[in-house]
Amino acid sequence: MRLFVVTLLIPLSLFTLVTVRADLVGMPYLAEGALESSIEIKTSGLSGEQLFVVCSACHSLEIGAAHRLGPNLSGIYEKHAATRHGFTYSEALRGSGIVWDRGSLLGWVMSTETMVPGTWMLYHNHLTLEESMRLVDYIISVSQK
């Protein structure tokens, strides 16, 4: 049995994960990679603001907005991690000593659990390095206002 996991970007929504059993939808003959290449998602043209739509399901960049599933990210640039009042952080992140700069934000977006073992986000990065950099640059630009 072959399973295909497809990630789609839906504006004003989350990444939607769809799992399809090829044999149940009459496609047991699909060559390896055929479905994946036919459903290639183009995110290379998206701006950092457009890429943040996915993040906005759990985070806000609006000054004074309430925390969501994740903390409000307004004003985090050059601040110590895990210091937002009213949000409960993991012990690992509280003890990390991280200051949010471009490099640390990029590392966090690229692989949260690798950067600080014992932490996690519901989001798992499916972006390229270039896309992740655009996302981080957007977060920084809004955070500095």
Domains plus CATH for the chain? 3-38 (no CATH), 48-143 (1.10.760.10)
The whole-angstrom separation of Cα 101 and Cα 94 is 16
Flag whether pLDDT at 109 surpasses 60: yes
Flag whether pLDDT at 87 surpasses 90: yes
pLDDT level of residue 48 (50, 70, 90 thresholds): very high
Flag whether pLDDT at 4 surpasses 60: no
CB atoms within 10 A of CB 108: 21
| Digit-coded pLDDT (tens) for 12-40 | 333 333 333 344 444 444 444 444 444 44
pLDDT score for 32: 46
The whole-angstrom separation of Cα 80 and Cα 83 is 6
